[in-house]
Amino acid sequence: MKQLNVDLGDRSYPIFIGSEVMANSDLWRQFIRGKQLCIVSNETVAPLYLPALKAQLDGFDVLEVVLPDGEQHKNLNTLNTIFDALLSRNQNRSTTLIALGGGVVGDMCGFAAACYQRGVNFIQLPTTLLSMVDSSVGGKTGVNHSLGKNMIGAFHQPQCVVADLSVLGSLPDKEFSAGMAEVIKYGLICDVTFFQWLEDNIVGLMARDTALLAEAVYRSCVDKAAVVAEDETEQGRRAILNLGHTFGHAIETAEGYGSWLHGEAVAAGMVLAVTLSEKLGWVSAEVVERSKSLLSKANLPLLPPSSMNLDQFLQLMGRDKKVIDGRLRLVLLKALGDAIVTSDVPVSMVKTVLQEAGVKA
Ligand code: NAD
Ligand code: GLY
């Protein structure tokens, strides 16, 4: 088993990574406060893993909330069903919520924990690759609004994160690839050694070799934890974790939540961001080619959807949370493994890159 810490003063917490680590509940049960628990999962994950989890929790008063599956349900209506269940069962302030699922469940359960009685504890048990390397770490929680993704939320850190690699065995290939997009992101934004390691090991990773996966999840979490420790509430540097996301969120919103997977949209968005970085003369054509090659070996899309036009793209990108005073801010690469946030990119150049990627005027 591998372990690391997210260093945030009195909100610090450990991340446990390994096979069967969920079953080793002595390790993580100590982070439960009180006797009341609420496991939040969804209709796909619950039948697979909730009974085994519950068997670890003898002696607790366990409430189960099983949400419908899908990004399209990541909204205030679904969130309210968690509050209904908590209140109907008189769950008090010392209750602990446990998120058992991917990023959708984790973001909603975390947001419910941030709001319920002005804040209760929660634990992340991520079950997708994406949630292990990204969404379960760093305390961003929230839901979508029909006008924009993740627009309603809060920063609320978990008590611990338990990344049990054995559950990845049941993850569909497409979802696995979507998680690889965020893994590759860390190499691009802040860790050139990891990027090279990914290039060397991509075949084994795609075959889901457990030792390689443990290393990839660990190194992704180390990179994310370092950025979060530096800038917990995204006043500056944390925004680099959003490489490709301004383009990606526009794709997700335009196509309808759940149509393009988050990681797929991020992959196409990262290609646009790296290409833009090349246009600015910051990275070489070789970096663009290496990025595309790695993403394509992870079976990820390299181009945005043909159904989107330029106006739609720019309008949706203008709603990005990084926009300040109407100025678009983008995460771009100064070099491979070195991302920055900039508002100094001419819109005409953004348009050119989108058009060259097949987006119609
Ligand atoms: P997801 O939660 O929708 O899970 C993907 C699919 O896999 C779902 O159908 C789910 O039911 C299923 N699934 C989950 N675990 C499984 C398993 N072990 N076996 C079989 N099926 C399984 O999607 P995701 O990619 O995990 O997360 C995407 C969400 O995360 C988006 O809403 C995105 O905005 C959010 N996100 C948040 C942050 C953050 O910092 N909070 C970061 C990145 C992404
Ligand atoms: N996924 C982006 C962040 O956590 O800041």
Do both 296 and 232 map to the same domain? yes
Task: Say how many Å lie between the CA of residue 95 and the centre of ligand 2.
Answer: 26
pLDDT at residue number 77: 98
| 165 falls within a domain | yes
Query: 7: which 2 tokens?
Result: 């260093």
| 284 falls within a domain | yes
Do both 113 and 192 map to the same domain? no
| 312 falls within a domain | yes
pLDDT at residue number 29: 92
| Alpha-carbon dihedral sign for residues 264, 268, 273, 278 | positive
**Which residues neighbour 148 within 8 Å (Cβ) at sequence distance 6 or greater?**
249, 253, 319
Residue that is last in its domain, among 140, 170, 200: 170
pLDDT at residue number 326: 67
| 73 falls within a domain | yes
pLDDT at residue number 256: 80
Residue that is last in its domain, among 170, 192, 225: 170
Q: Please tell me the chain's helix, strand, coil percentages from 3-state DSSP, rounded to the nearest 5.
A: 50, 20, 30
3-state secondary structure of 340: strand
Q: Domain containing 23 — which CATH number?
A: 3.40.50.1970
Give the domain extent around 51. Answer: 2-170
Q: Which residue stretches of the chain have pLDDT < 50?
A: none
Do both 164 and 182 map to the same domain? no
| 361 falls within a domain | no
**Count of CA atoms in the C-beta half-sphere (13 A) of 141:** 23
Positions marked catalytic: 118, 140, 182, 224, 234, 238, 242, 245, 249, 262
Domain count, the chain: 2
Write the pLDDT tens digit of every residue in 236-287.
Answer: 999 999 999 999 989 988 988 678 999 999 999 999 999 999 999 999 999 9
Query: For the chain, give me the number of helices (H) and strands (E)?
Result: 13, 11
Q: Which ligand lies nearest to the CA atom of residue 47 in the structure?
A: 1
Do both 193 and 231 map to the same domain? yes
Do both 145 and 159 map to the same domain? yes
Listed residue (159, 83, 152, 75) closest to 117, CA to CA: 83
| 137 falls within a domain | yes
Do both 133 and 182 map to the same domain? no
Residue that is last in its domain, among 151, 170, 189: 170
Q: Domain containing 302 — which CATH number?
A: 1.20.1090.10
3-state secondary structure of 155: strand
Do both 68 and 217 map to the same domain? no
Do both 103 and 212 map to the same domain? no
pLDDT at residue number 344: 87
CB of 131 closer than 6 angstroms to any ligand 2 atom: no
Do both 16 and 150 map to the same domain? yes
Atom in ligand 2 nearest the alpha carbon of residue 137:
4
| 159 falls within a domain | yes
pLDDT at residue number 73: 96
CB of 175 closer than 6 angstroms to any ligand 1 atom: yes
pTM over 0.75: yes
Order of strands, edge to edge, in the sheet holding 2-6?
A: 2-6, 13-18, 161-164, 121-126, 96-101, 36-42, 61-67
Do both 308 and 191 map to the same domain? yes
Q: List 295's β-bridge partners, or say none.
A: none
Query: 99: which 2 tokens?
Result: 């998120």
Atom in ligand 2 nearest the alpha carbon of residue 182:
1
Residue with tokens 């526009």: 250
Integer-rounded Cα radius of gyration of the chain: 20
Task: Say how many Å lie between the CA of residue 189 and the centre of ligand 1.
Answer: 22
pLDDT at residue number 148: 78
Do both 152 and 188 map to the same domain? no
Do both 198 and 340 map to the same domain? yes
Atom in ligand 1 nearest the alpha carbon of residue 149:
34
